[in-house]
Structures are given as structure tokens and as C-alpha cells.
Amino acid sequence: MKKLILLLLAGSVFTLNSCTKSGPQGPAGADGNANVIGINRVVTVSSWTLTGTTYSATFSDPNITSDIVSNGVVEVYKAYGTNEWTNLPDINGITSTVFDFYVGGFTIYIQNSDGTTPANPGTISFRDVIISASQRQAHPNTNWKNYNEANAAINATPVSSTQLSNSVAP
């Protein structure tokens, strides 16, 4: 047992003493967090796909990577009025608006809880906010379900409204 402890101690001394600092220090890097994604864009849907009793709209988004799917967050908010955003899922009477996300995009669904076909949703604006794991960890007290808090945390400048109805899913 003494030999094992001595070997470990000797190995530690050699390892710790072998590190040296060489070369001049490089310039200071920019403040920030590596691999932080904070995307905030408005998408407006006016043309929905009806499958069975569910309306849907699919969007391609290359910012939704496998790392985002595994470790990050994607939130989608629905517009009510000019500056009021509610996060999905949203339930209004028997009609619910939900979404799912996957590598390369997301899909919004509108359906009735009683199995009937809802009225055509018409034109609706949504915001999608993509948050990397490192961004989430940097802001542990943020309520990501609240659009204003999420937007403030990622310091995103909203991307101008874009018409993206029925994009092809990956």
C-alpha cells in the first residue's frame, strides 16, 4: 500500500511540475458565451394544411440543430393583438394550438379537443425563439414561457415578419 501511495505522489509531482507557461498572452476575446443561439423571428401563417381534423403549418429552420433538440429549448408564441404574445400550447375554448420541433424545423397544429374540425384559423403570427443549452444555463431564473423574459434574456432583435406558409419539412 505504501508503494502505491508513493507512486501516485511521485507521478503527481512530475505531472504538476512539467507544466510551463510559454509565449506571450494573446489579445482579450470578445465577451459572450460560445455556441449561444438566441433567434427571435416572426412568422405569419395564412395558408394552412388540413389533414383529417387538424390544421397545420410546417417551417424549416436550420437553427434547430440536434444539439438544440437534445439540450436546448424552442418556444413558440402566438400573437393576440399587436404586442401580446402567449406561449404554446394555447387553449381557447375547445381549440388548441400546439407545436412540435425537430432537427431542421417545427410544425404548428390547431385542433379541437372534441375531435371536430376547427374553423379555418386564417392569418396568425407566431414568434419562434430558439435557446441553446448554454444560453439557458447563463439565465437560470428566466421564465422561458414568457415572451418578454425570453427575448430580454437572449438579447434578440426581432427579425422582420416573414411569410413562410407551408414550407417543406426536412
Domain presence at residue 81: yes
Q: Is there a domain that residue 88 lies in?
A: yes
Q: State CA 12 to chain mean position distance.
A: 44
pTM to 2 decimals?
0.64
CATH number of the structural domain spanning residue 107: 2.60.40
pLDDT tens by residue, 112-127: 999 999 999 999 999 8
Domain that holds residue 47: 38-163
User: Residue 85: inside a domain, yes or no?
Assistant: yes
Asked if residues 134 and 140 have their Cβ atoms less than 8 Å apart, the reply is no
Strands 84-87 and 73-80: antiparallel
Helix (H, G, I), strand (E, B), or coil: what is residue 94? coil
Residue for grid cell 430558439:
130
- Within 10 A of 112 (CB to CB), how many other CB atoms are there? 15
pLDDT tens sequence across 80-137: 987 788 999 999 999 999 999 999 999 999 999 999 999 999 999 998 888 888 776 7
10 Å CB burial of residue 98 (0-12, 13-18, 19+) is: middle
**Tally of domains within the chain:** 1
Domain membership flag for residue 4: no
Q: Is residue 21 part of a domain?
A: no
